[in-house]
């Protein structure tokens, strides 16, 4: 089966690849962009980019309900075990490290962003993910500013880049165009916008700028929309 990515609004994505189901940054219950709740999710792996509420709020609920393995930076997976998630259901990583999972390869990328668990626990750095799924590479920048080393990430050859465009908490539309120039993906999708007034953006206007200024094809989804790789 082809790999399919579904945007649940904000920074939350579900991914189906082969026989595996993943969820990235499970923010569901208080996410105004989706009606999907933690009880509706089927996942055997959860990817978590950092500890902020708007990414990790439903992490423990989803992991507990599904029995999924949590993949993220070591400090977060360690925090998960203190919330009662079994030690064999977490896989700690760190920035720059990669690992071959049953569904594909995960490499943690840097992100320029703060990170703490939403309960106040200090937990190291925020990250992004470069995924290799069924021979295709998907880069989730997650919450980050623009940074020059995106050029290095782009050197790996990216089929789809998912970039925040919301501004205020992450890079905004103009910097996401510059990021696309550095990453050189075949396709680029916006995320982390439109959830609340401070991050309202015109994604179609952004897509027009992507077409003008880069070689990438923009893919603008409505929440609930799916991209096939
Ligand atoms: Ni954040
Ligand atoms: Mn965020």
pLDDT digits (tens, 9 = 90+) for 157-180: 999 999 999 999 999 999 999 999
Q: What is the pLDDT of residues 1-26, one digit of tens each?
A: 689 999 999 999 999 999 999 999 99
Give the distance (Å) from ligand 2 centre to CA of residue 76.
16
- In the block, residue with structure tokens 């500890």: 51
C-alpha span between 7 and 32 (Å, rounded): 13
Q: Which domain holds residue 64?
A: 4-228
The pLDDT value given to residue 1: 63
C-alpha span between 129 and 96 (Å, rounded): 10
Q: Which ligand is nearest to the CA of 123?
A: 1
- Work out the number of other CB atoms within 10 angstroms of the CB of residue 83: 12
Q: What is the pLDDT of residues 211-223, one digit of tens each?
A: 999 999 999 999 9
- Work out the number of other CB atoms within 10 angstroms of the CB of residue 204: 10
Q: Provide mean pLDDT across the span 187-191.
A: 98
Q: Domain of 105: which CATH number?
A: 3.60.15.10
27 pLDDT band, cuts 50/70/90, is very high
Give the distance (Å) from ligand 2 centre to CA of residue 31.
11
State the pTM of this model: 0.97
Chain-wide mean pLDDT for the chain?
97
Where is average pLDDT lowest: 121-125, 179-183, 200-204? 121-125
C-alpha span between 113 and 132 (Å, rounded): 24
Angle at 35 between CA 29 and CA 36, to 5 degrees: 75
Say if residue 41's pLDDT is above 80.
yes
Give the distance (Å) from ligand 1 centre to CA of residue 216.
26
Select from 152, 173, 133, 175 the least CA-distant residue to 20: 133
User: Got the DSSP string for 130-153?
Assistant: EEEETTEEEEE--S----TTHHHH
3 state SS of 186: coil
Give the distance (Å) from ligand 2 centre to CA of residue 52.
6
The pLDDT value given to residue 103: 98
What angle do the packed helices 173-183 and 203-213 form, to 10 degrees?
40
For residue 16 the two structure tokens come to 């189906």
The number of distinct structural domains making up the chain is 1
User: Got the DSSP string for 65-96?
Assistant: HH-PEEEEEHHHHHHHHHTT--GGGEEEE-TT
Give the distance (Å) from ligand 1 centre to CA of residue 5.
21
The number of C-alpha atoms within 13 Å of 81 and in the hemisphere containing its C-beta is 14
Q: Which ligand is nearest to the CA of 25?
A: 2
Give the distance (Å) from ligand 2 centre to CA of residue 56.
9
Q: What is the pLDDT of residues 127-137, one digit of tens each?
A: 999 999 999 99
Say if residue 123's pLDDT is above 90.
no
Give the distance (Å) from ligand 1 centre to CA of residue 101.
25
């Amino acid at each position: 089966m082809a790999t399919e990515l579904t945007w649940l609004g904000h920074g939350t994505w579900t991914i189906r690849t082969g026989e595996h189901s993943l969820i990235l940054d499970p923010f569901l219950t208080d996410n105004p962009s989706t009606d999907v709740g933690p009880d509706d999710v089927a996942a055997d792996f959860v990817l978590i980019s950092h500890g902020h509420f708007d990414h990790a709020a439903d992490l423990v609920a989803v992991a507990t309900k599904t029995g999924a393995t949590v993949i993220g930076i070591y400090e977060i997976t360690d925090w998960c075990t203190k919330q009662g998630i079994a030690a064999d259901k977490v896989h700690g990583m760190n920035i720059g490290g990669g690992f071959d999972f049953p569904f594909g390869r995960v490499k943690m990328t840097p992100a320029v962003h703060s990170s703490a668990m939403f309960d106040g626990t200090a937990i190291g750095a925020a990250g992004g993910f470069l995924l290799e799924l069924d021979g295709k590479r998907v880069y989730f920048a997650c919450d980050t500013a623009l940074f020059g080393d995106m050029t290095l990430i782009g050197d790996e050859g990216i089929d789809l880049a998912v970039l925040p465009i919301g501004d205020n908490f992450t890079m905004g539309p103009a910097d996401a165009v510059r990021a696309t120039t550095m990453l050189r993906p075949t396709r680029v999708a916006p995320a982390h916008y439109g959830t609340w007034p401070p991050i309202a953006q015109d994604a179609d206007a952004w897509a027009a700028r992507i077409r003008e200024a880069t070689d990438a094809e923009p893919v603008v989804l409505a929440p609930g929309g799916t991209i096939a790789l």
